[in-house]
């Protein structure tokens, strides 16, 4: 029995009926005696003590007007829904591979039932998990498959949401102008459909891209516009994320102390809401701000705190980013050997997750450290390997 089927069976057991027993002991007996599977449909088989012949207890047969095919479709639909819900739960606790397997199982059943839109939603969920795992190319393929279905089915809202998610993955791949265009398209569609809050989330994503493009002033205006659409107490998590991302733009504008205040506020909200991954992001941002202010020990402490959180959450790609940040701070402190180790660990993780650009950046930083240590030949080798990677990506556009 698959995990999704087990989940479906458990949900079916827990479904209450008017004649269900109420005490724990009675319920245990009822569960043991209750017909399941085909027995629930065609009656429970029992064997006569005297003759050993099989018989069917007719009174166990449910009264239903459904034909066998319709009943099978009903069960298949329940199987798919359970698998999809299981995938959501597994994704929420960081069990990415199991979540992907559950979504694939649900998608297979939906396709067999001819429910293309539901199958496309599973592809979107897969894409979201793949983004968190740093598998951005795979995520793009999943989003593109889903988007084609939504467009064909005239599901404008689903298509807009898919475009927004896709643009986040595109930004991670460094294709910032394409990401900006995608967010603009999604924002216009969501606004046209009257989805104010989702349009505001799109604005936040757009502002993040503007910050990466070195346009923090425009980003700040977009963050402020988005904040106005979020309602306090109803959208506290959105407000906190916006405040945290806004602090990055403030830091880029040299307003580091103001940025620290916004970042600490966001961290407090995420802690209250129990959103550990968002808490870790806030801590990383504080580390970068402390480093910009020359408070290197505070920065290192924050990177180590965030790294511990990401290790517990199983987010290895974020662990790599923390290690790279630690390496940058250690190098500025003149602690070259420790910086070299941090860059090496970060690079190994980036290579493992197929993040060639980030791995190449690590190699460039390693080369600078190796030059400082007088290990010129190793430094030249690292720099040349990084140059080849950057050149290949430049040729790809």
Domain made up of 234-310+319-346: CATH architecture: Alpha Horseshoe (1.25)
Specify the pLDDT at position 51. Answer: 41
pTM: 0.71
Say if residue 65's pLDDT is above 60. no
**What is the Cβ-side half-sphere exposure of residue 30, based on CA atoms within 13 angstroms?**
14
Residues in the chain: 397
CATH 1.25.40.10 fits 1-20+69-150, yes or no: yes
Say if residue 140's pLDDT is above 70. yes
Of 11-20, 85-94, 132-141, 300-309, the range with the lowest mean pLDDT is 11-20
- DSSP H or E run through 24: helix 24-33
Exposure string over 143-159, b if 16+ CB within 10 A, otherwise e: bebbbebbeeeebeebb
Average pLDDT estimate for 219-246: 90
The CATH H-level (homologous superfamily) assignment of domain 155-229 is: Tetratricopeptide repeat domain (1.25.40.10)
Specify the pLDDT at position 50. Answer: 42
List the chain domain ranges. 1-20+69-150, 155-229, 234-310+319-346, 361-397
Report the relative pairing of strands 45-47 and 54-56 from DSSP bridges: antiparallel
| 360 neighbors 386 (Cβ within 8 angstroms) | yes
């Amino acid at each position: 029995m698959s995990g999704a089927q087990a989940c479906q069976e458990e949900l079916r057991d827990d479904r209450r009926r008017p004649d269900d027993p109420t005490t724990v002991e009675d319920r245990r007996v009822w569960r043991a005696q209750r017909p399941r599977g085909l027995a629930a449909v065609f009656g429970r088989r029992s064997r006569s003590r005297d003759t050993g012949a099989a018989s069917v207890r007719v009174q166990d047969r449910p009264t239903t007007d459904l034909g066998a095919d319709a009943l099978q479709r009903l069960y298949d639909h329940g199987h798919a829904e359970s698998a999809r819900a299981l995938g959501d739960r597994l994704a929420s606790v960081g069990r990415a591979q199991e979540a992907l397997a559950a979504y694939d199982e649900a998608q297979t059943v939906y396709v067999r039932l001819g429910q293309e839109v539901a199958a496309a939603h599973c592809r979107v969920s897969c894409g979201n998990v793949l983004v968190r795992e740093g598998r951005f190319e795979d995520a793009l393929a999943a989003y593109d498959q889903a988007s084609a279905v939504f467009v064909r089915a005239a599901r404008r809202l689903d298509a807009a949401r898919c475009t927004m998610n896709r643009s986040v993955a595109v930004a991670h791949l460094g294709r910032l102008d394409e990401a900006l265009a995608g967010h603009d398209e999604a924002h216009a569609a969501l606004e046209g459909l009257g989805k104010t809050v989702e349009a505001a989330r799109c604005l936040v994503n757009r502002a993040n891209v503007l910050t990466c493009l070195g346009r923090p002033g425009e980003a700040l205006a977009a963050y402020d516009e988005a904040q106005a659409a979020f309602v306090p107490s109803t959208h506290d998590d959105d407000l906190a994320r916006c405040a945290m991302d806004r602090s990055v733009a403030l830091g880029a504008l040299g307003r580091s102390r103001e940025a620290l205040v916004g970042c600490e506020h966001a961290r407090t909200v995420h802690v209250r809401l129990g959103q550990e991954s968002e808490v870790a992001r806030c801590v990383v941002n504080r580390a970068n701000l402390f480093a910009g202010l020359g408070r290197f020990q505070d920065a290192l402490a924050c990177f180590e705190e965030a790294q511990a959180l990401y290790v517990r959450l199983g987010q290895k790609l974020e662990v790599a980013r923390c290690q790279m940040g630690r390496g940058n701070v250690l190098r500025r402190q003149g602690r070259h050997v420790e910086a070299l180790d941090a860059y090496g660990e970060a690079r190994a993780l980036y290579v493992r997750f197929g993040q060639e650009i980030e791995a190449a950046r690590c190699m460039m930083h390693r080369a600078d450290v190796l030059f400082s240590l007088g290990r010129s030949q190793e430094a030249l080798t690292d720099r040349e390997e990084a140059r080849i990677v950057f050149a290949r990506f430049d040729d790809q556009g």
